[in-house]
Amino acid sequence: MKKKVIVGMSGGVDSSVAACLLAEEGFEVIGVTLHTWEKLPKTNNDSEEQNALSPTHEHEEAKQIAAAKGFLHFTIDFREAFQREVIDYFKSEYLLGRTPNPCVICNTKIKWQALLQEAKRHGAAYIATGHYARVAKQEGRFRLLQGCDASKDQSYVLWGLSQEILEKARFPLADYTKDEVRALARKYDLPVAEKDESQEICFIPDNNYERFLKDALPNLAEKIAGGKILDTNQNELGKHRGYPFYTIGQRRGLGISTPAPVYVTDIHAEDNTIVVGSKDDLLHSGLIATDLNWIAFSKLQEPFQAEAKIRYKDTAEPCVVTPLETGCVQVTFETPKRAITPGQAVVFYSGEELLGGGFIQKAIQ
């Protein structure tokens, strides 16, 4: 009897190829698509391409691919949980003056938990996605490794996965490059072989965070517009549109004129101000991180050396990670890092192995 595998199918090229590869290996593939959000009402400014980026459209693509390849396919309604765990989190983080990473939260609390739930329901041995990452068992623990294609590695967003999930996880694209995956999609005659990659957050397909927050939080702009833009000496330089519409390191769209370029260095939700400074003012020697999850070991008991990324496309830099009595960690970089942003994830590596991660609480000098 074939072993069953639950494959998260988004309607994109990566997850579709992942499903085909597993079928080719001899698994009984069951495709699962998560219905997580509703597209906002169409506006006159929407392009045809933008209007095609609806969840319903992509669900249909996944369903059609599964049918063409002979897979079972189910669409699971996770809108309520996604609203609560991801969208509400996204809004609340911005209201706290932080810059969230909803993809990490989705993978940790929604996507993989849903796939695990479906695996138990269908008696499946494994769960799989189209992520570019690898999993291996070493010294009694399941470890997470970077994908072989460094330019496509997606391990950063998976640091919140549990041992229970990693034990069942399969990453069929682990050893492939994106070009090779597209070649496989053409080989399998998939209609999404040339489909563009999504670069945006799924529930903000136009990539306009400010518009989304204004629509999702009526009267927000009127309540917070006109707060002060301060320099590092607390001198007022102008007024802002509303502190949630800015992020650490931002240079463009500040609406002020200064003799030299300035960047957002701090956001203070409590008094509705943002602080701007020079590029050097963005440099910090370390950070405090919270809400940690360790994959390579069960608990951090003493300081260790690692490399850390503070955003998805960041270069991992050497650091020392020190546990604190509060349950947080202090991360001290060998060389100061630029634009450490509260709300983003800091992820720890040792070479190609992901050790664990957490959320940045604050930058420190």
The predicted structure's pLDDT at residue 57: 73
Task: Measure the CA–CA gap between 221 and 213, rounded to whole angstroms.
Answer: 9
Angle at 301 between CA 361 and CA 153, to 5 degrees: 60
Beta carbons within 8 Å of 123's beta carbon, 6+ residues apart:
4
**Residue listed under structure tokens 């639950």:** 6
Name the CATH superfamily for 4-187: HUPs (3.40.50.620)
Tell me what pLDDT residue 58 has. Answer: 76
Identical fold between 219-278 and 282-364: no
Please report which residue ranges of 217-261 form alpha helices under DSSP H. 220-224
d(CA 109, CA 293): 13
| CATH number at 219-278 | 2.30.30.280
**Does 151 belong to an annotated binding site?**
no
Answer yes or no: is 9 a known binding residue: yes
Q: 290 by DSSP, 3-state: which?
A: strand
Burial class (CB in 10 A: 0-12, 13-18, 19+), 194: exposed
CATH 3.40.50.720 for domain 282-364, yes or no, is: no
The residues annotated with a catalytic role in the active site are 106, 202
* 1 labelled binding-site residue: no
Which tokens in the block code for residue 178?
């994106």
Q: Is 10 annotated as a binding residue?
A: yes
Which residues 6+ apart lie within 8 Å of 171 measured at CB? Answer: 18, 128, 129, 131, 132, 133, 134, 135, 147
What is the C-alpha separation between 98 and 332, in angstroms, rounded? 21
Annotated domain spans of the chain: 4-187, 219-278, 282-364
Q: At residue 303, what is the residue type?
A: P
130 annotated ligand binder: yes
pLDDT (tens, 9 = 90+) of the chain, 365 residues, equals 889 999 999 999 999 999 999 999 999 999 999 999 886 555 444 444 444 455 667 789 999 999 999 999 999 999 999 999 999 999 999 999 999 999 999 999 999 999 999 999 999 999 999 999 999 999 999 999 999 998 999 999 999 999 999 999 999 999 999 999 999 999 999 999 998 887 678 899 888 999 999 999 999 988 999 999 999 999 999 999 999 999 999 999 999 999 999 999 999 999 999 999 999 999 999 999 999 999 999 999 999 999 999 999 999 999 999 999 999 999 999 999 999 999 999 999 999 999 999 999 999 98
